């Protein structure tokens, strides 16, 4: 038995209707045409994916709702980008999102494509209550170590917020000398929209910084590797040595410098 309509007509109907009746889907699943049954299976999978995404988006507001019930109003998510690279700064961002912010597609920045991150950056910067940026450069990293540099970048990002935050949600860290209520959350960039927004802002800011560095130091491919220790970057270090923005305290860079001094 077949549902009325050609396969093309049924496909168009399914594409146009986000929700169709269960009875219609059941009819499609028992249709004599394999193409129709395939359309039904694909639609059901997509509908289930949409349902899971709606649930995920709602769960990612849970922490913000909880702290609002406790009386906090300006809840800032804080996250960083660039702890692991061999070159460039570590960057932190703090973001206060408004009630009703359109968080469609927002997630841990590492799970997003560059295009998705850039689209989200525009939306966040346009609609956020406040966005703060903090940067600790390679010199600070070498002098104080990467953990202390990360803390400093986060303190600077929070201080850059206007209006100021009254509560912080952070991705698995608690920052010394930051005198606000802090709530470290393991895997927070996947559990809080505010932290995920900060992750996107920090990542896109740092990527733009490293892309500019790639124009200044083209032999290292910073615009592609963002300073991480990729095979091409390590090969460039071996060939060209270090440049001014390399982190001299990181082992691959330090070892290359030591080798250069030995050969000299």
Predicted pLDDT at 127? 97
pLDDT value for 260: 62
Q: What is the pLDDT of residue 52?
A: 77
Distances from the Cα of 13 to the Cαs of 20, 41, 263, in angstroms?
9, 15, 71
Measured CA to CA, the distance from residue 72 to residue 162 in angstroms comes to 16
- CATH number 3.30.70.20 given to 62-202: no
Residue range 184-222, pLDDT digits in tens: 999 888 899 999 999 999 999 999 999 999 999 999 999
> What confidence score (pLDDT) does residue 225 get?
97
Predicted local confidence at residue 1, as pLDDT: 59
- At residue 163, the pLDDT reads 97
Residue stretches of the annotated binding site for a divalent metal cation:
79-80, 171
Prior bond of 20 cis (ω within 30°): no
Sequence spans of domains, the chain: 7-59, 62-202, 213-263
Neighbours of 264 (CB within 10 A): 5
How high is the pLDDT of residue 261?
A: 61
Binding residues: 79-80, 171
pLDDT at 131: 98
* Rounded mean pLDDT for each run of 10 residues along the chain, 264 residues in total: 81 81 87 89 82 76 92 96 98 95 86 93 97 98 98 98 97 93 91 94 97 97 97 94 95 82 52
* Furthest CA-CA distance within the chain: 84
Cβ-contact 194, 101 below 8 angstroms? no
What is the signed CA dihedral for 251, 254, 260, 264, rounded to 10 degrees? Answer: -130
Identify which of 47, 5, 51, 50 has the alpha carbon closest to the alpha carbon of residue 28.
5
pLDDT value of residue 41: 86
What is the structure's pLDDT at 264? 47
């Amino acid at each position: 038995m077949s549902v009325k309509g050609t396969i093309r007509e049924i496909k168009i109907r399914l594409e146009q209707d986000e929700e169709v009746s269960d009875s219609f889907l059941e009819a499609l699943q028992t249709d004599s045409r394999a193409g129709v049954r395939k359309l039904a299976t694909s639609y059901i999978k997509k509908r289930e994916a949409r349902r899971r995404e709606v649930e995920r988006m709602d769960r990612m507001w849970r922490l913000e709702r909880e702290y609002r019930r406790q009386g906090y109003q300006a809840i800032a998510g804080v996250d960083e980008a660039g702890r692991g690279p061999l070159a460039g700064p570590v960057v932190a961002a703090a973001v206060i999102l408004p009630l009703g912010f359109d968080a469609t597609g927002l997630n841990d920045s590492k799970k997003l494509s560059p295009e998705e991150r850039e689209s989200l950056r525009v939306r966040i910067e346009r609609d956020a209550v406040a966005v703060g940026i903090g940067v600790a450069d390679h010199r600070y990293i070498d002098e104080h170590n990467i953990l202390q540099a990360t803390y400093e970048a986060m303190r600077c990002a929070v201080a850059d917020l206007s209006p100021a935050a009254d509560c912080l949600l952070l991705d698995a860290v608690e920052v010394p000398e930051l005198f606000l209520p802090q709530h470290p959350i393991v895997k927070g960039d996947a559990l809080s929209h505010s932290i995920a927004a900060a992750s996107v802002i920090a990542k896109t800011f740092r990527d733009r910084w490293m892309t500019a560095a790639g124009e200044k130091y083209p032999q290292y491919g910073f615009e592609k590797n963002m300073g991480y220790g990729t095979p091409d970057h390590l090969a460039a270090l071996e060939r060209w040595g270090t440049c001014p923005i390399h982190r001299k305290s990181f082992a691959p860079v330090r070892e290359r410098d030591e080798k250069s001094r030995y050969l000299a």
